[in-house]
Amino acid sequence: GNSVTQMEGPVTLSEEAFLTINCTYTATGYPSLFWYVQYPGEGLQLLLKATKADDKGSNKGFEATYRKETTSFHLEKGSVQVSDSAVYFCALSDRNSNYQLIWGAGTKLIIKP
């Protein structure tokens, strides 16, 4: 079945550091891939998405590229800020599963000033 694996957290970085949060997936079809972010005490916000191989999703300085050959969708940002501290979830959606989202475990990111 479909699954998503994220790097374990927490990830602690200093402000202006480079961020990578790894995400790999297993899917039988051709899924869409998502990153959602959950700020402390809030619900989930869609951060970015990619619907086919080699697509790059981007938003708020974050980027992720859909790599079919490595079944990966790693999240990157060149210079993180304290306000980026949150939990980041990688997810996939497959039309064969009626578009249900399959979630990674989430990665807590802590940015220190």
Contact residues toward another protein (CB under 8 A) are: 32, 34, 36, 42-46, 49, 51, 89, 93, 95, 98-101, 103-106
Q: CB 3 → another protein: shortest distance, Å?
A: 12
Q: Which lies closer to another protein via its Cβ, residue 17 or residue 97? A: 97
- Cβ of residue 55: shortest distance to another protein, in angstroms? 13
Phi/psi of residue 111, nearest 5 degrees? -110, 125
Closest CA to 10 of 108, 113, 111: 108
* Residue number with CB closer to another protein (37 or 111): 37
Which residue lies nearer to another protein by CB, 17 or 24? 24
What is the rounded CA–CA span in Å between residue 66 and residue 86? 22
The C-alpha atoms of residue 75 and residue 72 are separated, in whole angstroms, by 10
Question: How many CB atoms sit inside 10 A of residue 97's CB?
Answer: 16
